[in-house]
Amino acid sequence: MRRFEYHEPATLEEASRLMGTLGQGAFLLAGGTDLFVEIRERLRSVAHLVNIKRVPGLDRVEWSDRDGLRFGALVTAGQLEASADVAARYPNLHAAMRALASIQVRNRATVIGNICRASPSADSIPPLVADGASIETFRPEGGRSIPLAEFFTGPGRSVLEPGEIAVAITVPPPAPGSRRAYLKHGRRKAMELATVGVAVSLDTADGICTGARIALGAVGPVVLRAPQAEAILTGSRLDAATIEAAARQAMQECTPISNVRSSADYRREMVGVLTRRAVTQAMEQAA
């Protein structure tokens, strides 16, 4: 570990102000599970940590039929995993939480921290992108709500401005007939970073797919949607041939790279397999 100064502001105003005045070397701390690793491995040089855990009201998971799901910046992956509302209504998000690192890590890691790190392989992002989530922020001059799909600008980068703090995620309530799944590909069954992650969120009525959102993780600089594959599914009866065609299309819509975990070609191939399996699984779960 390296040394740093530690701050515990009591309000978002104070946190934001601190971030502004402390400048470059200041980082927000919520769960810390990624940040501490980066400090130890000298990937980030941190002069100040601003811990927002004393800020009230950020640790709740709320559900309502009208507004859907809302959770704050201090909500951990473990908290979401344990939420019956999430398990019942957002099975893709629930699956992503169960697949994230370990139980111990999930008890510390915040979901918003996982998102703000903007890693293309972060498990929490594909289901939330597929489900049309938005991120609410705090700024001294007034916060904003940003659709998650527009939040990321590249690996490790987002549209957050200096001093702007992500405070909550909102996810619209699922329409009746909604079908969801998240599948993660890794060499082991746990403690993996996704080589590929695929989340699907389908709307169905009378056996017809009325809307489809597919989000692909770890196969581009940011989590990607696959609009043409979605178009193939939309309006169909989700028969095997259509699912297969959509899966093939999704392979064309990703832009994977090769690294130590996998080659680009293999990742692309897995986008096909996982998309097909995720759509199939989503439909089976409903039945």
Partner 1 sequence: MTKTLLELTVNGEDRSLAIEPYRSLLDVLREEAGLTGTKKGCDVGDCGACTVIVDGQPVNACLMLAVEAQGASVQTVEGLQPGPDELHPLQDAFMEHGASQCGFCTPGILIMAKHLLDQNPLPTDEEIRFGLSGNICRCTGYTKIFDAIRTAGRRMAAAKSQSVEA
Partner 2 sequence: MTKQDFRIVGKSVKRQDVIEKVTGEGRYTGDYHLPGLLHGKIKRAEIAHARIKHIDVSKALAYPGVKAVLTHHDVPKVLHYGSPHPRSASCTKDQYILEDKVRFWGEGVAAVAAVSEEIADEALDLIEVEYEPLPAVLDIDAAQQPGAPLIHDVGPGGNLVIPPVHIERGDVEAGFAEADLILEGVFEGGRPVPTYMEPNVCVADWDGSGKLTFWTSTQTSFMVRGALAEVLDLPQNKVRVLVDHMGGGFGAKQDLFQHEFLCALLARQCRRPVKMEFTRKETFIAGRSRHPFRMWLKQGFRKDGTLTARDMKIVYESGAYGSHSPGVTNVGTASATSLYRCPNVRLDGRAVYTNTPIAGAYRGYGVVQTYFAIDIQIDEAAERLGIDPAQMRLLNAVREGDIAPSGHPIVGRGLEACISRGIEAFDWPGKRAAGRGDPANPAIRKGWGIGCEMHGSSAYPGIREQGNATVKMNEDGSVTLLTGAAGLGTGAHTALAQIVAEELGVTFESVSVVHGDTDVVPWDIGAFASHTTYLVGSAAKMAAADLRQRVLARAAERLQESPEHLAMVDGVITVQGKPGQTLTVAEAMGPSRGIPAEHLIANGTYMPTKSYSFAAHFVEVAVDTETGIIECRKVVPVHDVGRVIHPIAAQGQIEGGIQQGIGHTLTEDYIIDRSTGRSLNAGLVDYKMPLSMDMPDIDTIILEAAPDPGGPWGAKGVGEDPIIAIGPAIANAVHDAIGVRFHHYPITPEDVLNGLRQKQENA
Interface positions with partner 1 (CB under 8 A): 1-6, 8, 32-33, 36-37, 40-41, 49, 51, 53, 78, 101-105, 107-108, 189-191
1 forms part of the interface with partner 2 (CB under 8 A): yes
In angstroms, what is the minimal distance from the CB of 78 to partner 1?
7
Q: Contact, 214 vs 199, CB < 8 A?
A: yes
66 forms part of the interface with partner 2 (CB under 8 A): no
Residues within window 40-59 making contact with partner 2, judged by CB under 8 A? 40-41
The entry of partner 1, partner 2, none that residue 105 binds, CB within 5 to 8 Å by partner kind: partner 1
| Cα–Cα distance measured from residue 254 to residue 243, given in angstroms and rounded to the nearest whole number | 17
| Cα–Cα distance measured from residue 90 to residue 179, given in angstroms and rounded to the nearest whole number | 9
Residue 210 burial by Cβ neighbours in a 10 Å radius (0-12, 13-18, 19+): middle
In angstroms, what is the minimal distance from the CB of 53 to partner 1?
7
CA 145 vs CA 166, 169, 172: distances in Å = 9, 9, 13
270 forms part of the interface with partner 2 (CB under 8 A): yes
Closest of 255, 251, 233 to residue 242, by C-alpha: 233
Closest CB to partner 1 among residues 107, 210: 107
Q: Contact, 273 vs 183, CB < 8 A?
A: no
Closest CB to partner 1 among residues 117, 225: 117
Closest CB to partner 1 among residues 105, 257: 105
254 forms part of the interface with partner 2 (CB under 8 A): no
230-237 long-range contacts (CB < 8 A, ≥24 apart) are 233/202, 233/209, 233/279, 234/209, 234/210, 235/208, 235/209, 235/210, 236/208, 236/209, 237/207, 237/208, 237/209
The entry of partner 2, partner 1, none that residue 17 binds, CB within 5 to 8 Å by partner kind: none
In angstroms, what is the minimal distance from the CB of 115 to partner 2?
19
Closest CB to partner 2 among residues 2, 157: 2
The neighbour count for residue 143, using CB atoms within 10 Å, is: 16
The entry of partner 2, partner 1, none that residue 187 binds, CB within 5 to 8 Å by partner kind: partner 2
266 forms part of the interface with partner 2 (CB under 8 A): yes
Asked whether the CA dihedral 53, 57, 58, 63 is positive or negative, the reply is positive
Closest CB to partner 1 among residues 104, 252: 104
Closest CB to partner 1 among residues 6, 145: 6
The entry of partner 2, partner 1, none that residue 47 binds, CB within 5 to 8 Å by partner kind: none
Q: Contact, 70 vs 169, CB < 8 A?
A: yes
Closest CB to partner 2 among residues 40, 54: 40
Q: In this structure, what token pair is assigned to residue 27?
A: 């980082």
Q: In this structure, what token pair is assigned to residue 202?
A: 């389908």
* Contact flags string 174-193 toward partner 2, x per CB under 8 A: -----------x-xxxxxxx
| 7-27 core/surface letters (b: 16 or more CB in 10 A; e: else) | bebeebebbbebbeebeeebb
The entry of partner 2, partner 1, none that residue 203 binds, CB within 5 to 8 Å by partner kind: none
End-to-end CA distance of the chain: 51
- Interacting residues toward partner 2 by CB under 8 A: 1-3, 40-41, 185, 187-193, 260-263, 265-266, 269-270, 273
